[in-house]
Amino acid sequence: MRKVSDTIARLAALRGLQNTHPTSITSADRLSTLGKFGSNPGALQARYYLPADLRNGAPLVVVLHGCTQNAAGYDHHSGWSQLADEAGFALLYPEQQRANNPNLCFNWFLPADTARDYGEVSSIQQMIEAMVVTHGLDRKQIFVTGLSAGGAMAATMLATYPEVFAGGGIIAGLPFGCATTVPEAFDRMRGHGGPSEQELQRLVRKASKHNGEWPRISIWQGSADHTVASANAESIAAQWRGVHKLDQAPTHSTSERGRSRQVWADEAGEAKIEINMIAGMGHGAPIGNGLGTAGPYMLDVGISSTREIARFWGVGDAADSSGAARSRSATPRGETTPSTFQLRAASEEPAKARPAEPPRNDMRGSQAGAVKKAIEDALRAAGLLP
């Protein structure tokens, strides 16, 4: 834990960034609203997108926006619905509400929202179930991705419901379980402290009773990210190497045109974990190469993380002549490198009977005085910003 004086000193600079970006982007809303989908203990909204003539048994991609963002804005800038039209999959966008978090961050570090069958993670799982049942989607091809706080929540979904997901994509996110309080969250984002590699792996195993195949993980990070330290990308990979039984050293690495990539593959040669580090990129999702639109924290660096993540999963290409998308066991083809590297940082399943809810370390009520306010302001200004 950093000293309080250090936290407050950094707050002065961080608060200068507050209100420099729009808090909501609602242009080009292509999404529909999912009505009732369960008990919704996390009090989230659900948005979704279905391409025209979506085939039965299509994949589902769950997309989690970052702080200050909403579902429609993230979809517009990331290009996910554009890719869904091309490749033939459904999209689900859980959406945070200000009553839960004033800055629209998913509460990725609160125990009451990150334990299986509780809070926000339970709401997202209920949305997924409703989408699968209502639209006849393939349970074996469900994926989750997110940016920043959404990336951290994507990691949480993968850990708490690993049997649901075939793969995940974590952009500028954090490992599951690395923080359970506001001060810890702030420190972990800056790359300070945190559980050991062994403890991170234990947290994933403890989060569910899963004993089957584990999701594949694509990790994306900017090397110049001053909001979520790039060390978190390595920590996420370390957390998931345990359940995949992979060596510490990557199977192979590549570096070309500003993108370095480390890949961990199993004995059959299938990539299970990858880290994509974008040189010189700040905090945000990499976009470009004809997909997505630049905006706050949506950075045109000439490469589309949207398309590349989908390819890693095996759902990023248009359906073949039989109309079938590649399955989760298919090996993704090699990545496509951009012709230019331009860094333009355009800066229901019924509710189950449950035990008593775990104590909620709420960031608006768990601490008192100036220290509490300083940490809260820091998180709202930059601590969880996408």
Torsion of Cα atoms, 152 then 153 then 154 then 160, to 10°: 120
Decide: helix, strand or coil at residue 220.
strand
Helix (H) or strand (E) holding 217: strand 216-222
- For residue 148, indicate whether it is catalytic: yes
Which member of 78, 81, 148, 305 is catalytic?
A: 148
- Taking the C-alpha atoms of residue 57 and residue 135, their distance in angstroms, rounded to an integer, is 8
Residue with tokens 């006849």: 136
Distances (CA, A) of 46 to 24, 42, 293: 16, 11, 23
Half-sphere exposure of 301 (CA within 13 A, CB side): 29
What separation, in Å, do the N-terminal and C-terminal C-alpha atoms of the chain show? Answer: 23
| Residue 77 identity | H
355-358: list long-range contacts, CB under 8 Å, 24+ apart: 357/112, 357/118, 358/111, 358/112, 358/115, 358/118
Q: Which residues contact 45 (CB under 8 A, 6 or more apart)?
A: 33, 71, 94, 95, 97
Token pair, residue 114, equals 């990150």
Please give the structure tokens belonging to residue 186: 């702030």
State whether the Cα torsion 63-64-68-70 is positive or negative: positive
**How far is residue 331 from each of residues 21, 50, 132, 266, 313, measured CA to CA in Å?**
39, 26, 24, 12, 8
Residues designated as active site: 148
